[in-house]
Structure 1
Amino acid sequence: MSDRGACPVRLHGGDFRTDPGGLYQRMRAEHGPVVPVLLEGDVPAWLVIGYRELHHVLSSPDVFARASHRWNAWDRVPEDWPLLPMVLRLPTVLYSEGEEHRRRAGALSDALAGTDLHELRTVTTRMADRLIDAFCSSTGTDLRLAYTARLPALVLSWLYGLDDERGDEAASLMTTMIDGGAEAMDAQRALMAAMADIVAQRRADPGGDVVSRLLAHPAGYTDEEAVPELIVLLGGGNQPTGEWLGNALRLMLTDDRFAASIAGARRSAQEALNEVLWEDTPTQVHAGRYAAHDVELGGRLLRRGDLVLLGLAGANTDPDVHSGTGAPGDRGNHAHLSFSHGEHRCPYPAQEIAEIIAVTGIEVLMDRLPDLELMVAAEELRWRPSPWVRGVASLPVAFTPVPPLGEN
């Protein structure tokens, strides 16, 4: 059993926000693939940053279980802990196990699979153009606030059958919850109330949207089951997709190699976004798994009930999966863990929807505003405070004004 790096690493603020790549390198050198960490409030956990070790965790649900009632540190978590919404057990696909998980995962996958992907592309293009029209006649904007955070929210609103205002409100609440600040629990409660209203409306007047398909599924969702499940769908669809799009655009604006490869058409948008999933994945840490019994992992002894954090960003940048020729994403390798792995991986229909939104978002923006430039030095960009999501808090850009297209 390894005794390396006995001192836990604080997984909030400092280098974790500003330079996670460098921090992962130091963690790997000092602690190995499984790192003892402290979350906000000095709550202990293990962060798995080794690709092989994380793959094993994700492939072993009987050993590394999902239900958070197993956690052995609940007595150390205050009621107002800002990260509580991300570990608090709710009756959803995220925290279920066994047959119950299969029931829920099948229903969600079927509800999403009913989406017409051709119509989705058309709607995403139209909404991207509408957002760009709102700022294209100026000389600059905050691309995150005006575009990358809003596009997935608008598209998901359409999938849910919501109007834009309600979709924006839900997306804003989700951002507050995931950032893990003092208002996180209030945001979760407001989201629950908003989703309850939507479920009641769709139960009374079903349509052709994802919510209606979920409620009509043979899995037999009750209203109480559907409400938190819809929050899972919203969080898993809006936040990572927006930061996926934003991180790709940030690289275009700050990395000459990346920008040249896109501008010169040596890479498609899909290939560029795949590289982002390897190098700057939007979901950097996911909570989590819980040791079902004492187990050794990466030279560490984990005790029954220990919280295991999924270090997706750390595992994707593990030197063991890189060669001397560059990043795995350079070769079109899709073996990253950004969509997780195993029975709790992101459903394939959800991955398709996210990719269509991200690819279309880049292609439309590049076509409309081909001379985007960052308005500040790259090192001046500030990152979101969330321990889970990797993305900039703002992305100020300048460009040559162009006339809006108008409604289309």
Structure 2
Amino acid sequence: MGPRFQNDDRVRLYREMYEQHGPIAPVVLPGDVPCWLVLGYRELHRITSDSALFSRDSGLWNQWPNIPADWPLLPMVGKQPSILYTVGERHHRRSALVSDALAAVDPFELRDRSERFADQLIDRLCGRGSADLIADYAKELPALVLAQLYGFSDQAGAELVPGINALVDGGPDALRGRDRVQAAMSGLLTSRREAPAAGVASRMLHHDYSSDFSFQEILEDMMVNFVAGHQPTADWIGNSLRLMLTDDRFAASLSGGRHSVAEAMNEVLWEDTPSQNIAGRWATRDTQLAGRHIAAGDLLMLSFAAANADPQVRPDRTSFTGGNSAFLSFGHGDHRCPYPAQDIAEGIARTGIEVLLDRLPDVELAVSAHALVWRSSPFLRGLASLPVRFTPTPTSAAGVYR
């Protein structure tokens, strides 16, 4: 949580930790709670490939007797009833339910909806000549698209956005935001249980495996996937736009090029992946890994960001990654981000960036690149704001978003 971790120096910090400790480093979490931080690409791959030895079941943690009820990382590490901490055959069936419901999203429909909401959001700001592309755009677009995909009306989806952002920001309104989102999603599920209709929520309720899980479990998984779909996608949009506005390699995309958009998004998943660290995996028995003795019940924090920059995999970080998609930004193994969810996130993000560049072709940073501030989070990587200026333009035929 120090200043080097919260700014552009974090990659160098990871490298120094790797040089000093190797691919697995002993660290402490708030309250001097011990943990292993997995920095190595191969080690992270091995851990996520062996769910029998490295489990997602947080109940195995050997530190629970030392964890106070108000420990700040409980929302990320605590015992939860969601799909994130389910293991074994039950996780397999739960994962299939979610993946199948998401896989039915039509990619052309996704593109159309993303374009429509992107146009409407840009209509709100295009006449001003300046904007914050995080608050005004990136933090709204994924939630609006996902809400409609799940089955909410346009109006209900728009009303959901402030609660979603309050929840993920973790500020004083976080609990209130969570309650609002949970109430809205519970209401949607209840209505779809009685009257099935199009949308992810209805498909989750009426899946072949849905009878294996309670209403509350399905609600929990819908919450998890909605939030996990929104914030990393918002950060993917923001981080990609930052790269394109500050790196000359992607200047062509600012004058209408398409190929550079995909390249910039891919580069971000290597260099500034939205999902930086995740807690984690727990050793089911004593074992050895990278010369370290891992005790049964030890917590291993997975650093996707450090693994992507592993000097054994990327000895020269100044080289362009091109189309290489071997990053670990979506995880790996049984608990990786579902492939349909990854496709949906990529569709929303790419469409959002392309529409923005089409509508505001001369957009540029309104501050120096060094003045940009990253949000304070050990888990996610995203800008607090992205102030830009551009030539004011008229609204589109999509109409002003309300």
Query: TM-score normalized by structure 2?
Result: 0.92
Cα deviation code 1:299-339 (max 9, x no counterpart): 22221111111100110111222254854622x11111011
In the TM superposition, residue 265 of structure 1 has moved relative to its aligned partner by 3.9
The CA deviation string for residues 171-199 of structure 1, in whole angstroms up to 9 with x for no partner, is 54444444555665665455444432222
Q: Is the 8 A contact 1:286 1:388 kept in 2?
A: yes
Paired residues of 1:28 and 1:49 also in contact (CA < 8 A): yes
Query: SS of 1:106's equivalent?
Result: helix
- Distance, in Å, in 2 between the alignment partners of 1:173 and 1:32 is 41
Matched-pair contact (CA < 8 Å) for 1:121–1:357: yes
| 1:185 to 1:389, Cα distance in 2 relative to 1, 3 A | same
Q: 2:84 matched to which residue of 1?
A: 94
Residues 169 and 26 of structure 1, relative CA distance in 2, 3 Å threshold: farther
**Distance in 2 of aligned mates of 1:300 and 1:328:** 33
**In the alignment, what sits opposite 1:272?**
264
Q: In structure 2, what is the equivalent of residue 255 of structure 1?
A: 247
Seen in structure 2, the aligned counterparts of structure 1 residues 381 and 110 have a Cα distance that, compared at 3 Å, is same
SS in structure 2 of the partner of residue 290 of structure 1:
strand
Alignment of 1:9-408 (within 5 A): 12-18=1-7, 19-164=9-154, 166-168=156-158, 170-180=160-170, 187-220=177-210, 221-260=213-252, 263=255, 265=257, 267-322=259-314, 324=316, 326-327=318-319, 329-330=321-322, 332-407=323-398
Q: SS of 1:320's equivalent?
A: coil
Q: 1:261-294 CA distances to partner (integer Å, 9 max, x unpaired)? A: 7658483422221111011100001121111111
Q: In the alignment, is the contact (CA less than 8 A) between 1:371 and 1:400 conserved in 2?
A: yes
Moved more, 47-56 or 264-273: 264-273
In 1: Cα distance, 2:247 partner to 2:334 partner: 36
Deviation at 1:37, TM superposition (A): 1.9
Deviations 1:24-70 (A, max 9, x none): 12211222211222223333221111101100111111111001111
Give the secondary-structure state (helix, strand or coil) at the position aligned to 1:309.
strand
User: Which of structure 1's runs of 4+ aligned residues deviate more than 6 A?
Assistant: none
* Structure 1 residues 177 and 364: CA distance shift in structure 2, 3 A: same
> What's the secondary structure of 2:6's corresponding residue?
helix
Contact kept? 2:143, 2:164, Cα under 8 Å: no
For residues 375 and 229 of structure 2, what CA distance do their matches in structure 1 show? 18
Match of 1:6 in 2: none
| Inter-CA distance 342–127: structure 2 relative to 1 (3 Å threshold) | same
Letter in structure 2 aligned against 1:49:
L
- Counterpart CA distance in 1 for 2:133 and 2:34 is 36
Q: Quick check: 141-150 or 75-84, which moved more?
A: 75-84
Number of positions where the alignment pairs a residue of Structure 1 with one of Structure 2: 396
TM-score, length-scaled by structure 1:
0.91
Q: Is the 8 A contact 2:252 2:260 kept in 1?
A: no
Change (3 A) 1:400 1:228: same
Q: Whole-Å Cα distance in 2 between the matches of residues 171 and 311 of structure 1?
A: 29
Residues 140-149 or 368-377, more deviating: 368-377
Q: Quick one: percent identity of the two aligned structures?
A: 51
Counterpart Cα distance in 2 of 1:198 and 1:99: 28
**Residue type at the aligned position of 2:191:** Q
Distance 1:367 1:261, change over 3 A: closer
Alignment partners' CA distance in 2, 1:381 and 1:325: 22
Which whole-Å CA distance do the structure 2 matches of 1:137 and 1:301 have between them? 60
- Give 2:362's aligned amino acid: D
* In 2: Cα distance, 1:34 partner to 1:187 partner: 37
For residues 258 and 109 of structure 2, the distance between their equivalents in structure 1, rounded to whole angstroms, comes to 28
Q: Distance in 2 between matches of 1:296 and 1:358?
A: 40
Contact 1:171-1:238 within 8 A present in 2 as well: no
